[in-house]
Amino acid sequence: MLSIDDLSVNYGPVKALSHVSLDVPRGEVTAVIGANGAGKSTLMRTLAGLVKPASGSAQLDGNLLTGHKAEDIARMGVALVPEGRSTIPELTVDENLRLGGMWRGRTERAASHAEVFDLFPVLAQRRTMRADTLSGGERQQLAIGRALMCAPECLLLDEPSLGLAPLIVTQILDLVKRLATEVNLAVLLVEQNAVTALREASQGVVLNLGQVVMAGPAAEIASHEELRHAYLGY
Partner 1 sequence: MIDFINYLLGGVGSGAIIALMALALVLTWRATRVVNFAQVGQAMFTTFIALSIQTATGNWFVALVGAMVAGAVLGVFVQYLVLRPVSRMDTSGAIIATFGVLIALQAAAGMIWGGDSQAFPQPFNNSAITLFGQEWPLSIYDLVVISLAALMVVGLTLLFTRTSLGLAMRATAFNPEVARLSGIRVSRTLTVGWALAGVVGGVAGVLVAPTSTISPNSFDILLVFAFTAAVIGGLDSLVGAVAMGVGTGLIISLVSGYSDSSNAPVVALVLLAVTLLLKPEGMFGHTKARSV
102 sits near partner 1 (criterion: CB under 8 A): yes
How big is the site for partner 1, counted in residues (CB under 8 A)? 27
The minimum distance between CB 117 and partner 1, in angstroms, equals 18
Helix axes 106-119, 136-149, angle to 10 degrees: 150
Nearer to partner 1, 35 or 91 (CB): 91
The minimum distance between CB 102 and partner 1, in angstroms, equals 5
Nearer to partner 1, 66 or 203 (CB): 66
162 sits near partner 1 (criterion: CB under 8 A): no
Nearer to partner 1, 90 or 174 (CB): 90
Q: Which of 34, 39, 53, 101 binds partner 1 (CB under 8 A)?
A: 101
Q: Which of 11, 61, 64, 90 binds partner 1 (CB under 8 A)?
A: 90
61 sits near partner 1 (criterion: CB under 8 A): no
The minimum distance between CB 41 and partner 1, in angstroms, equals 13
Q: Which of 52, 61, 63, 99 binds partner 1 (CB under 8 A)?
A: 99
Q: Which of 2, 24, 80, 188 binds partner 1 (CB under 8 A)?
A: 80
Q: Which residues of 84-94 are buried (b: 16+ CB within 10 A; e: fewer)?
A: ebbbeeeebbb
Nearer to partner 1, 49 or 56 (CB): 49
Counting Cα atoms < 13 Å in the Cβ hemisphere of 72 gives: 7
Q: CA-to-CA distance for 38 and 175, rounded, in angstroms?
A: 27
Instruction: Tell me the sheet residues that pair with 20.
Output: 7
116 sits near partner 1 (criterion: CB under 8 A): no
170 near 196, Cβ under 8 Å? yes
Q: CA-to-CA distance for 206 and 194, rounded, in angstroms?
A: 10
73 near 65, Cβ under 8 Å? yes
In 3-state terms, the chain is what percent helix, strand and coil (to 5)?
40, 25, 30
Nearer to partner 1, 147 or 197 (CB): 147
Q: DSSP letters of 84-119?
A: S--S-TTSBHHHHHHTTTTTS-HHHHHHHHHHHHHH
Rg (alpha carbons) of the chain, rounded to whole number:
17
87 sits near partner 1 (criterion: CB under 8 A): yes
The minimum distance between CB 70 and partner 1, in angstroms, equals 4
Binding site for partner 1 (CB under 8 A): 48-50, 69-71, 74-75, 79-80, 82, 86-88, 90-91, 95, 98-103, 146-147, 149-150
